[in-house]
Amino acid sequence: MAGVTETHEIDLTASFKAYDVRGIVGETITAESVRAVGAAFVDVLGLAGQKVLVGGDMRPSSPEFMEAFAEGALARGGDVLKLGLISTDMLYYAAGVQQAAGVVFTASHNPAEYNGMKMAKAGAVPVSSDTGLYEIRDAAQAYLDAGQIPAVERTGTLEESTLLADYAAYLRSLVDLSGIRPLKVVVDAGNGMAGATTPAVLGDAELEALPLTIEPLYFELDGTFPNHPANPLEPENLRDLQAAVVKHGADIGLAFDGDADRCFVIDEKGEPVSPSAVTALVARREIARAKADGEDTPVIIHNLITSKAVPELVAHDGGRAVVTRVGHSFIKAVMAEESAVFGGEHSAHYYFRDFFNADTGMLAAMHVLAALGEQDRPLSDLAEEYEPYVASGEINSEVEDKAAMMDRVEQQFGVEGTTTSRMDGLTVAADSGDWWFNLRPSNTEPFLRYNGEAKDAATMQRVRDEVLAVVRG
């Protein structure tokens, strides 16, 4: 029997979220709870006698958790393949190429005291609350409550493997950077997994050198995040990168989050390129490639708060844009349903059909490098094409009754000459095309999130201020 040695009780509902598992190490996630989840993962997904992939990021607790998960999975008959240190998109790569289910231990951009799990089925299909995550939680909770994990007659086998070189070669097969003009690239890994993946994919650590000079920032793998949080969504975490791009006279800056599945882009002036602009740029390249392969109308997915420049460009280039709710499980599901070639979100998640409908920041970065390196203009000029509108960015307001407030805003702003939608929160758009905004309730905090966009700065500010005046009373 795989025993349970710790005595304090753990309630798994505290760490199991809609799309992944995330908790505070030693409190809501422990080796004991992870061992139980490993066992439940095999039980619920029917993986006895099948390969189970186990990897983790550079957080101090990840090695112990990988070990504990493997113990639980082995006890219930799973054949564990330990992958060691991996980024989240490396798990998706392995799950796709090897057609095996697996887990990566990471808490993405969360602070050092956190860790968690992202799970995937064979083919990199996400495990979420709709596809088995809560069943795994409940089965693991039963093991914890019982105080033991009974071993099955045929316990699993244990092997180890490394993925980095194969992952790098796979990405390079999708975007050829060998013929671009020489570029100087500053990469801020934030002490996260991009410190390992960047030298492998963009450098010469595993494969032949590309025409790229990499200026590394915070490549040391250190899950205590000594320099800044590995969350490039927050502007203050981009400042070091912005300064370094200007200092080195670089062509481009790239910032990754802790588990390296999201990528943010900085131009040669040190200014951010919006994720919507990156979505539009990559969409153009993927539509052209799919058409060259004989696809009539390639599909591009975007969530409802990306810039309307995205669907406009997709239509212009002969693709078909499909809008979804915010959130990777929605996008991945629609990617599969529509056989979409690419999908992008305002939060810098980028999804590719050629990458098992999963998200990878590195592949998106390679597309931007290719687009930049195939022509002579600086990135600020190139990006301008893809950013015709002025965006507000995300603005949070604390609201107790979020539903009532959205109704109130709809009554006030959903007037003649506008169109409203309730696909995800409330979206109100001017029929003239001059502006739109979205109010979306947070699932985890008492916030309404405002995102808006307009034809010019004055209109964006006016609509923003009018809506927020109602929301904030």
Give catalytic residues, as residue numbers: 108
Q: How far apart are CA 418 and CA 288, in angstroms?
A: 34
Amino acid at 154: R
Q: Name beta bridge partners: 52.
A: 80, 101
Q: How far apart are CA 350 and CA 328, in angstroms?
A: 9
Q: How far apart are CA 444 and CA 447, in angstroms?
A: 8
Alpha helices in 182-263 (DSSP H): 194-201, 239-248
> Strand ranges (DSSP E) for 204-339?
212-217, 252-256, 263-266, 272-273, 299-303, 320-324
User: Token pair of 99, please?
Assistant: 């057609």
Identify the CA nearest to 303 among candidates 321, 287, 290, 318: 321
Q: Name beta bridge partners: 384.
A: none
Alpha helices in 270-327 (DSSP H): 275-292, 309-316
Q: How far apart are CA 313 and CA 185, in angstroms?
A: 27
Identify the CA nearest to 268 among candidates 185, 324, 210: 185
Other beta carbons within 10 angstroms of residue 441's beta carbon come to 17
Q: Name beta bridge partners: 254.
A: 187, 265
Q: How far apart are CA 299 and CA 457, in angstroms?
A: 31
